[in-house]
Every structure is written in structure tokens, then in C-alpha cells.
Amino acid sequence: MRFRQKFNNALSGVVAGIVVPLIAFLIFFLMTNHGLSLAEYFRKVEGAGNISEIMSVSVFANIIIFLVFNRLDMLRASKGVLGITILWAFAVFGIKLF
């Protein structure tokens, strides 16, 4: 079975839409941690009130995977990524409100 046929489903898009922002956050953390542990970093970010901004930057990476799936004509997977991106956006909006 070819790669496109095997992974052209909404579940693949959902998984990619969850995993890619986590990887983006990990890269962001490694670039900006200044010697802090992950727990200390979370406390610092929470204290500064930057959680929603960091989530937004992490979710921005979903654009790349969405465009790759679109270019490969994997429209079902693109729908999964889009759906999860919308859920991430609601989460960021909810955090901003509270």
C-alpha cells in the first residue's frame, strides 16, 4: 500500500495535529530554557502569563503539516489537522479568557 493511501485518513491528521505542536514546543523549550528544567520553565511561563502565546507559536507548526498534506493531495489527513488546529485555537482562546 502506498504512503499516501495508507495515511490519508482523518486519524493520521489528528495524530499529526497533536504531535507536531508538541515537537514545536519541545524545540522552542530547548532554544529558550536557559538551563531551567521543564517544571521550572512551566512555572516561569505561567508566572509571566505567556501560556497562550507559547501555545499559539507551537500550533503555528500545524500550518506546515497542513500544507504538506494538501500538496500531497491527502485531503482527509488535512481535514484532521484542520480540526485539531481549531480545537487548539479554542483552547488558546479559553486560556486567554481565564
Spatial neighbors of 71 by CB under 8 A, at least 6 apart, are: none
Average pLDDT of every residue of the chain: 93
Task: Tell me, yes or no, if the pTM score tops 0.85.
Answer: yes
Per-residue confidence (pLDDT) for residue 76, from 0 to 100: 96
Sign of the alpha-carbon dihedral angle for 28, 26, 31, 69? negative
> How does residue 1 score in pLDDT terms, banded at 50, 70 and 90?
low
Please write the tens of the pLDDT for every residue from 53-90: 999 999 999 999 999 999 999 999 999 999 999 999 99
